Structure 1
Amino acid sequence: MIDYTAPVEEVDYYLADHAKWLDRHFQSGEFLAAGRRAPHSGCVIVTRPMAQVHLEAVIAANPIVQRHLAQFRIIEFSATRTAPELRLVNEALAV
């Protein structure tokens, strides 16, 4: 979870860089879903399982985090139930 520490208007200025960063990690397969929180005070990113140190490095490279406009929290969980549309993803994670 990413929490903005600066006004949204300031964060919005760097959203194009943030989008490029997201694209790289979706293309690599590390990210599964991402989106704005409501109200717009940050975002949530769902990732594939990975070593915590690697995930911290990935998130720390986010342009809005690097510019000290946001901070992040990692919330780890294991999906024990999955909607049919996500069952293939969940089964792939269990391997």
Structure 2
Amino acid sequence: MYVVLLNYTAPIEEIDYALPDHAEWLNKQYEHGHFLASGRRNPRTGGVIITRPMARGKLDAILASDPFCVKHLAQYEVIEFSPTKTAPELRLLNEAVPH
């Protein structure tokens, strides 16, 4: 499982211009079952994505297709973690905790 931190590298006006394409890209990732949650950081300096477990190479390819990446509007910090405790609502997503 990963937490992806997006850090904007362009003025917010450029981010806003590319936002509809980024939102469409996010929707596709949810449809494919790759992402669990996403949203803006506060203050608005970037975003956060929480992914399902997957191979790191697959995640890197997915992130490379983000319009923010393609247009060089954001940098990505990927944090891999293995949850050892999960709220009941998320237990099915946590492969490390017996169900």
Per the normalisation by structure 1, the TM-score is: 0.90
Identity level (%)? 56
Structure 2 CA distance for aligned equivalents of residues 8 and 78 of structure 1 = 33
| Structure 2 equivalent of residue 72 of structure 1 | 76
If each structure's helix is expressed as a fraction of its own residues, which one has the higher value?
A: 1
Equivalent residues, number? 95
Which structure carries more relative contact order (alpha carbon 8 Å, separation 6+)?
A: 2
Going from structure 1 to structure 2, the CA distance change for 1:12 and 1:93 (only over 3 Å counts) comes to: farther
TM-aligned CA deviation for residue 65 of structure 1: 1.1
Structure 2 CA distance for aligned equivalents of residues 21 and 93 of structure 1 = 31
Structure 2 CA distance for aligned equivalents of residues 82 and 19 of structure 1 = 28
Asked if 1:14 is matched to 2:18, the reply is yes
Contact 1:48 1:93 in 2 (8 A): no
Structure 1 CA distance for aligned equivalents of residues 61 and 29 of structure 2 = 12
Structure 2 residues not aligned, in runs of 5+: none
If each structure's strand is expressed as a fraction of its own residues, which one has the higher value?
A: 2
| Structure 1 equivalent of residue 94 of structure 2 | 90
Matched residue SS, 2:94: helix
Structure 2 CA distance for aligned equivalents of residues 43 and 76 of structure 1 = 16
Contact 1:3 1:72 in 2 (8 A): yes
Give the aligned CA root-mean-square deviation in angstroms.
2.0
Aligned residue type for 1:57: A
